[in-house]
Structure 1
Amino acid sequence: MPTARPTPRPRIAALPVYSRAAGSASVRWRASSNESTVAPSPAIREAVARAAAHANLYPSLAGDELIAAISERMGVHEDQVVVGGGSLALLQLALTAFTGPGTEVIHAWRSYEAYPILIGIADAQSVPVALDHEYRHDSEAMLAALTPQTSAILICDPNNPTGTTLPPERLRALIDAVPGHVLILLDRAYQEFDQAEPDLAALVCEHPNVIVLRTFSKAYGLAGLRAGYAIGSPEVMQVVRATAPPFGLSAVAEAAALAAWGDREHTRHIVNTVTECREKFRRALGDRGLFTPDSRANFVWLPVGDRAEALQTACVRHGVSVRAFAGEGVRVTVGCPDAEAAVLAAVDEICRPR
């Protein structure tokens, strides 16, 4: 048999690997992937069943019905909206369209671990900028990192995995200060869990270099179906749309997203469940002497440093998976009191104040 085999591009061969949570296949509760703990509503399940009955047919070319619904509610034109198989897929399209060899993409770190992977796939250079002492984006440091090679800046707000946000005036000041030729990718995956929601339509109208990324995976509870949308200026979104493959959003995902978009009461139920559990969990951790940053997402960040992996192992023993980042901390998805009780039992084992 021949021993030669295809060789990947060096940048692809060197990509970091998206981490897996320990024990996620064997535990009783999953608090490791920021999924909704609330199942889809009957209306969403019925929409999925209707769409699945016609799975032999192609979906719409570009997710046309979902685009129409989003543009109407958001108050933007349809040519300002692109939908696809999750916000990550849309982020990859934007990076492919506007970055590449010889360019740099600035992002906070630690932030969403998929960012360096997607930037590398686009063959651009990742430029990580450390969070500030409050675990937030360091606006001044990010602006200082701008160079003539900077093609894009990624802002994850609320930030994953810390859950922190920039105050609205600081977020706006950061966006205002970025040169117009640099693409700003504002990832608002967890927006519904943040009390201070920016006016996204006004933001993209005032700043033609901004793309806002949104997902149906979190507050809409559709992580398993992969649906998301992006909004921006017509000119920028036309370029993003040109990089998208046809039929990028399945008919089932579009039907579910449309139903979830219209089922505002169910979204409120998911958000209320998360926010109530989040605050109770943070108070319980505080009672144990453990500091946590103010989270505006559906998870809580435990900055336990070198105890992160030990805490993850203890959580698995107690029947719950969490996401550990070695030497830094542990991210815990909230929304299930039993899962949070299991994490607290593990904290009592591993993280007693020294």
Structure 2
Amino acid sequence: MGRQLHLRTALPDDRDWIHELRHRVYAQELGQHAPDPAGRLSDGLDGDNVYLVAARGARRVGFVSVTPPWAGRFGLDKYLDRDELPSLREPDTFEVRILTVEPGERRSAAAPLLMYAALRWIASRGGRHVVAMGRTEVLDLYLAAGLRPVGRTVRCGAVTFEVLTGAVDALTRSVPDRHSATLERLRSTVDWRLDVPFAPGPDGCEHGGASFTAVGTDFRTLHRRRRIVAADVLDAWFPPAPEVSAALTDDPSWLARTSPPAGAEGLVAEIAATRGLPEETLCVGAGSSDLIYRAFGQLLSAESRVLLIDPGYGEYAHVTERVIGCRVDRLRLRRVDDWRIDPHRLTEAVATGRYDLVVVVNPNNPTGRHTPADELRAAIESAPDRTRWWIDEAYLGYVDDAASLAPLAATDPRVVVCTSLSKMYALSGLRAAYLVAAPDTAALLRRWTPPWPVSLPAQRAAVAALGEPEYYRERRLQTRALRHRLALELAELDEGVLVEEGVANFVNVTLPAGGPSAAQFVHECRRHDVYLRDLSPLSALYEGRTVRVAVKDAAENARIVAACQAALDVLVPPVPLPAEPVSGAAR
């Protein structure tokens, strides 16, 4: 009992033990099933379930199964009609079943650790809802995890189960609050071998930027940046225009010590002139995240209902659900539709009149798909007057700024367009962005904007960048060529790999079903100092298998391809060749 517990995803040779333990507990001990002469009890979902195993050294002590939504069926389907539990229809609902522990370990930390591990595994795959069947004799264990009964009891053989459910976000927040001492003890004593961090991030949101952690966030080891390929964030691969660099190096000590124009008046005037927009329709900020937090805090409340696109930029789910507490619905995109937004489905969803805000990222991050402006404009025009639209055009510079809905936002009080100056202008480190809204909305948001919202270096650089459209047009064309070549080379790595090329500065790579998880693949690539983005936490629609790869220059793209190949060589076992026929004489 004193040996350290370790936790891992089940290996192929764990299956016999799982079937044997299941038989001992559910057939012999509890009488749920008739005994089997072979002493084994399998499950109809064995081919779809993910099993997490707790062990002490080589001795296995317990397991829990998780059924993901992409399996297409749940254990509960045998007992409940999905109309009785509508969350079973959601593509981000996961089922936790068959938590089973060896008799001698039932007073140890194995059972609660397995429950916690199941929650972390589900969150890492974009799960938003959990359903479970908890045996009534151990119901307290499920209640302690934060799950709540739905009022349905099901019976299987001699065993009674309570049906329980919970929201992953709420469980992720409540478990550390209620069991902080236990979790801290487990963190220091358990050998955690899952492909998901033991604890969520401090704000519960999955941000990119692990590559900067490798460089060193204390800035003492910045030389490391030269060996790391930061393809996990969507910063530009190219430098800003020469005029921008000149502006930043012209008396940098003055730029550093001088307070900027309090309202960024010069920057606002340059944006207005460049984009052909009235100044009174503009509000600037230190990056689009600054504007999102500030604007949503004014435009929404906990009573607001919001429609998000799924998959979509994770910051919007974080702000609406976790920060403000809005009621959030999702319009699910489909791989079969090439992840494109169907304007008819969008129009039908919004026509109900229930939404206070609809958020559309266009081009979409992380799918890389762009919806034509006329299709979005038609959906907006047909929507109820009470519905406001937030259009995020952070990556529109990789398509065509002329496709912007900013002119509509300047006149239609229902529309706000947010645009980052970071991505296409290679200014991510300086943080500059603006939004366009009808004058009354823009004035409201300016009232809640502190003075000096954008630093002097950022204002100076952004003004210079806006004056160099030809330079950035050339970079856009170069990015397209680099992106296409990168997509082709990644697609050649393995026939089971799916590469999806969008319109922005990244491609998505989906690993073969039954192969390594995106998290394992990302981890293996980091051994080669190549950092990619695991998209799994953003949406369960990615099934834990999709990685986003930022486009870099030709040399770094070559390093990305080489690292991906090396990762696949390690993680995907080669398919054995058929044996050559052996002649009778050779036998």
TM-score with structure 1 setting the length: 0.87
Q: Deviations over 1:271-316 (max 9, x none)?
A: 2331111011122233444433341111111133663122212322
Report which stretch shifted further, 202-211 or 245-254.
202-211
Q: Tell me whether 1:301 sits opposite 2:508 in the alignment.
A: yes
Secondary structure of the residue aligned to 2:436 is strand
1:51–1:185 Cα change, 3 Å: farther
Residues 22 and 312 of structure 1 are in contact (CA less than 8 Å); yes or no, is this contact kept in structure 2? no
2:206 to 11, 18, 21: 18
Q: Deviations over 1:219-273 (max 9, x none)?
A: 1000001000111211221122122122111111101111111122332243233
Secondary structure of the residue aligned to 1:223 is coil
Aligned to 2:287: 86
- Residue 318 of structure 1 aligns with an amino acid whose one-letter code is H
CA drift of 1:181 comes to 2.0
1:186–1:23 Cα change, 3 Å: closer
Q: Tell me whether 1:211 sits opposite 2:429 in the alignment.
A: no
Secondary structure of the residue aligned to 2:307 is strand
2:486 to 278, 281, 304: 281
1:37–1:62 Cα change, 3 Å: same
Secondary structure of the residue aligned to 1:343 is helix
Q: Tell me whether 1:313 sits opposite 2:523 in the alignment.
A: yes
Runs of 5+ consecutive residues of structure 1 not aligned to the other structure = 1-9
The 5-angstrom pairing of residues 116-155 of structure 1 reads 116-119=317-320, 120-133=322-335, 134-146=338-350, 149-155=354-360
Secondary structure of the residue aligned to 1:61 is coil
Alpha-carbon distance between aligned partners in 2 of 1:229 and 1:109, rounded to the nearest angstrom = 24
1:247 to 452, 461, 467: 452
Residues 359 and 391 of structure 2 are in contact (CA less than 8 Å); yes or no, is this contact kept in structure 1? yes
- Residue 278 of structure 1 aligns with an amino acid whose one-letter code is R
Residues 87 and 214 of structure 1 are in contact (CA less than 8 Å); yes or no, is this contact kept in structure 2? yes
CA drift of 1:334 comes to 0.2
CA drift of 1:324 comes to 0.8
Residues 262 and 453 of structure 2 are in contact (CA less than 8 Å); yes or no, is this contact kept in structure 1? yes
Secondary structure of the residue aligned to 1:270 is helix
CA drift of 1:21 comes to 5.1
The CA RMSD over aligned residues, in Å, is 2.8
Alpha-carbon distance between aligned partners in 1 of 2:374 and 2:292, rounded to the nearest angstrom = 25
Residues 510 and 545 of structure 2 are in contact (CA less than 8 Å); yes or no, is this contact kept in structure 1? yes
Residues 373 and 405 of structure 2 are in contact (CA less than 8 Å); yes or no, is this contact kept in structure 1? no
Residues 86 and 216 of structure 1 are in contact (CA less than 8 Å); yes or no, is this contact kept in structure 2? yes
The 5-angstrom pairing of residues 82-121 of structure 1 reads 82-119=283-320, 120-121=322-323
Q: Tell me whether 1:225 sits opposite 2:442 in the alignment.
A: no
CA drift of 1:199 comes to 4.4
The 5-angstrom pairing of residues 148-163 of structure 1 reads 149-163=354-368
2:277 to 76, 80, 83: 76
CA drift of 1:94 comes to 1.8
TM-score with structure 2 setting the length: 0.54
Runs of 5+ consecutive residues of structure 2 not aligned to the other structure = 1-169, 175-202, 216-226, 537-543, 576-587
Secondary structure of the residue aligned to 2:490 is helix
Residues 152 and 184 of structure 1 are in contact (CA less than 8 Å); yes or no, is this contact kept in structure 2? yes
2:239 to 31, 35, 39: 39
Alpha-carbon distance between aligned partners in 1 of 2:555 and 2:276, rounded to the nearest angstrom = 40
Alpha-carbon distance between aligned partners in 2 of 1:41 and 1:107, rounded to the nearest angstrom = 35
1:132–1:85 Cα change, 3 Å: same
Aligned to 1:330: 547
CA drift of 1:86 comes to 0.7
Report which stretch shifted further, 305-314 or 179-188.
305-314
Secondary structure of the residue aligned to 1:150 is coil
Alpha-carbon distance between aligned partners in 2 of 1:221 and 1:12, rounded to the nearest angstrom = 36
**Could you say which structure has the greater relative contact order, defined with CA pairs below 8 angstroms and 6 or more residues apart?**
1
Secondary structure of the residue aligned to 1:285 is helix
Task: Count how many residue pairs are aligned between Structure 1 and Structure 2.
Answer: 345
1:343 to 549, 553, 560: 560
Alpha-carbon distance between aligned partners in 2 of 1:233 and 1:252, rounded to the nearest angstrom = 28
CA drift of 1:56 comes to 3.4
